[in-house]
């Protein structure tokens, strides 16, 4: 491996280690109760070093889901079917796999992370900012104009609400396996409504929102 490749692997490893240490501390004591200086000390780095990797405290947590922020755009961009067909298939596959991103996962560590993420106001607000990035990336793939931006906003909102509803019910005590059929049916209904509102993105449309 080249020297630049080794540096990149080391950099990514540091991102992961800092995020893991921070999340462990936040889960133990709460996001607001753990200062950044303590995270840096636990990770055995200086505070300035930590801020070079993560400019904001919230980013230490959001790093774990950062790869998913442009997932909708990637799915549409790589698909050989119309956008809504590709996104429907991808989300339903995620539900079948109990992908944590769909909210349909009752593993204790996943439930704890989601509780931290959605139960902390500062983190919940940061998630919304990440979702704006997701909208922008999807809109670009869909054409980049106003119609594309409106379509992307609707799609990302639907995916967010579906995932939050699944997490809410699991957090209330339901099991993922028992909830799966209902979650699949809810997703199907949601995509049917999207298709009625965005006919250009469905199988019998043109493939673009305009």
Question: pLDDT digits over 36-90, tens only?
Answer: 999 999 999 999 999 999 999 999 999 998 878 889 999 999 999 999 999 999 9
Does residue 10 register a pLDDT over 50?
yes
pTM of the model: 0.84
C-alpha to C-alpha distance for 57 and 72, rounded to whole angstroms? 26
C-alpha to C-alpha distance for 12 and 53, rounded to whole angstroms? 10
Average pLDDT of the chain? 91
**Length in residues, the chain:** 210
Nearest to 60 by CA among 88, 86, 89, 40: 40
C-alpha to C-alpha distance for 130 and 135, rounded to whole angstroms? 9
- Which residues touch 181 (CB under 8 Å, ≥6 apart)? none
pLDDT value of residue 206: 44
| Phi-psi label, residue 207: left if phi above 0, alpha if psi -120 to 50, beta otherwise | left
- Lowest average pLDDT, out of 14-18, 70-74, 128-132, 135-139, goes to 128-132
Rg (CA), the chain: 19
Does residue 106 register a pLDDT over 90?
yes
- Residue 55: DSSP 8-state: S
What is the longest distance spanned by two Cα atoms in the chain?
57
Confidence of residue 195 (pLDDT cuts 50, 70, 90): very high
C-alpha to C-alpha distance for 32 and 129, rounded to whole angstroms? 19
Confidence of residue 204 (pLDDT cuts 50, 70, 90): very low
User: Between vectors from CA 198 to CA 193 and to CA 201, what angle results, nearest 5°?
Assistant: 115
pLDDT value of residue 205: 45
- Contact criterion met (CB below 8 Å) for 126 and 195: no
Q: What is the mean pLDDT of residues 16-20?
A: 96
- Which residues touch 138 (CB under 8 Å, ≥6 apart)? 70, 72, 73, 76, 152, 155, 156
- Contact criterion met (CB below 8 Å) for 140 and 209: no
C-alpha to C-alpha distance for 106 and 173, rounded to whole angstroms? 9
pLDDT value of residue 59: 94
C-alpha to C-alpha distance for 57 and 23, rounded to whole angstroms? 11
């Amino acid at each position: 491996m080249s020297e630049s490749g080794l540096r990149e692997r080391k950099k990514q490893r540091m991102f992961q280690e800092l995020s893991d240490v921070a999340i462990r501390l936040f889960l133990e004591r709460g996001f607001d109760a753990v200062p950044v200086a303590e995270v840096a000390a636990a990770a055995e780095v200086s505070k300035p070093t930590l801020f070079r990797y993560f400019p904001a405290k919230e980013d230490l947590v959001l790093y774990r889901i950062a790869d998913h922020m442009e997932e909708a755009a990637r799915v549409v961009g790589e698909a050989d079917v119309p956008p809504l067909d590709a996104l429907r298939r991808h989300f339903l596959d995620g539900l079948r796999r109990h992908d944590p991103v769909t909210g349909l996962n009752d593993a204790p560590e996943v439930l704890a992370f989601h509780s931290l993420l959605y139960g902390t106001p500062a983190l919940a607000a940061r998630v919304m900012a990440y979702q704006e990035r997701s909208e922008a990336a999807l809109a670009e793939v869909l054409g980049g104009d106003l119609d594309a931006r409106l379509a992307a906003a609707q799609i990302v909102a639907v995916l967010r609400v579906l995932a939050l509803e699944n997490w809410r019910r699991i957090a209330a005590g339901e099991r993922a396996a028992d909830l799966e059929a209902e979650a699949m049916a809810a997703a199907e209904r949601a995509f049917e409504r999207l298709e009625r509102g965005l006919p250009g993105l469905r199988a019998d449309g043109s493939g673009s929102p305009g």
